[in-house]
Structures are given as C-alpha cells and as structure tokens.
Structure 1
Amino acid sequence: MPDFEEIAAIDEFGTADRLEVFIDDTPALLIRINDQYLAIEDICTHDGQPLTNGCIEDGAIKCPRHGARFDLVTGKALCMPATKPIKTFEIEIRGRNIFARPAVK
C-alpha cells in the first residue's frame, strides 16, 4: 500500500470548500465539508473534463459540463452520462497538515 503524502495545510482553505492538488501525480480535488476532508480525482470519467467547479450537495459532486454526478466517498457514478467511478483517496490529518494516498478498493 502506498504511503501517505502531504498535500495541503488546513489553513490553505481559507473560506473555500475545495483545493486543487495532486496526489500520487493524479489531479485531485480536496474538499472540506464542515470538519470532514475528502479527496477525489478531478477528472470526470465521462469526458475527461475537470470536476473542479462542480456543485457539491448531498454527498456528491456534479460535473459542470454534462451533469454526471459522483459520490464523494466512494467515487461511484450516480447518474448518466458517466458510468465509471472516479478515484477516491484516503485522508489523514496530522496537526494542521493534510495527507492522502489512493484508496484501496
């Protein structure tokens, strides 16, 4: 299993609810919902476009281009046009720093 790598500091969020990062050379989106941190691959599996500016609600992110939705915890595609899941990452908080590694499926 890969080691955790430091990807951000909690203070980097400011008032934002998401940060663009790289995890294991993969473009990823680090998301803060209240005191919970989640990380997903920042690429829609339908057409390869970024999910960066997608609306987040009810534990899912919506692709801003064609409306595909993905579960933020499991990465599962929740509606068409996407049929394949996105990668998710395990998160670990150490002090004020955020670490991540690819989730085991």
Structure 2
Amino acid sequence: MTEWIDVALAEELTPGTCRTVDIDGVRIAVFNVGGSYHAIEDVCSHEAEPLSGGEVEGSEIICPRHGARFSLITGAALSPPAYEPVATFPIRVLEGKVQVKDDRWD
C-alpha cells in the first residue's frame, strides 16, 4: 500500500503556487488553485515536457513546450497537440501538511 508523502506546509503552498515531489520515480506536481489543491503527473502526454513550468489559467495547466492544455482536476487533455490525459493523484491536508500519494498500484 502506498503511503502519503509530504509536499509542503499548507501555509507555504499558497494560491497560485506549485511544488513538485518524486514518488518512486514518478514526478508529481501539486498546485494550489484558489485554495484547492490538485496533483497531476508532471509530464505532458504529448512530448514528456514537465508541466509544472507551465502557466495556470483557472483549473487548467498549459504545457510550456507546445501549448497543450490539461485539466488540473481530471487530468484530461483539453487541446491539441495532446490527446491522452495525465494521471491525477489523491491529495489531502493533514496536520497542516499538504500530502499526496500514488495509489495507482494499490
């Protein structure tokens, strides 16, 4: 069973910011969008570019390489050139810490 991994203190991951964490070789980007936390795999499904360096508009992240858009909520690819979604991950705040886990293999 996968364990929860600390990302940051909630007070440090303020709205509009992003932090990344590595869980067993999987890079995960955690975003604070208007006080809501969202976690996606930090790789564009089009060309393996890190998404964490992209611009956030509402609840979407724009890939900095070719402009593909992804939902931070569902991971869905919202515009070409990406057609495949990115993985999303459960996230929680426990004792003031934002935590994430990769539960795909549980």
Percent identity between the aligned chains? 36
User: Aligned residue for 2:31?
Assistant: 31
Aligned residue pairs: how many? Answer: 104
**Offset at 1:76?**
0.5
User: Aligned residue for 1:54?
Assistant: 54
Cα-Cα RMSD: 1.9
- When normalised by structure 1's length, the TM-score is 0.85
SS, match of residue 70 in structure 1: strand
**Offset at 1:7?**
2.6
Give the AA of the match of 1:34. Answer: G
The CA distance in 2 between the partners of 1:82 and 1:103, in whole Å, is 24
Change (3 A) 1:75 1:15: closer
**Offset at 1:103?**
5.8
User: Aligned residue for 1:78?
Assistant: 78
Q: Is the 8 A contact 2:15 2:35 kept in 1?
A: no
Change (3 A) 1:103 1:72: farther
Give the AA of the match of 1:45. Answer: S
Give the AA of the match of 1:43. Answer: V
Where does structure 1 lack aligned partners over 5 or more consecutive residues?
none
- When normalised by structure 2's length, the TM-score is 0.84
Q: Is the 8 A contact 2:76 2:86 kept in 1?
A: yes
Q: Is the 8 A contact 1:87 1:102 kept in 2?
A: no
User: Aligned residue for 2:43?
Assistant: 43
**Offset at 1:3?**
3.4
* Residues 46-94 of structure 1: CA deviation (Å, up to 9, x unaligned): 0001112211113110001101100001100001100111111110100
**Offset at 1:24?**
4.3
Runs of 4+ aligned structure 1 residues displaced above 6 Å come to none
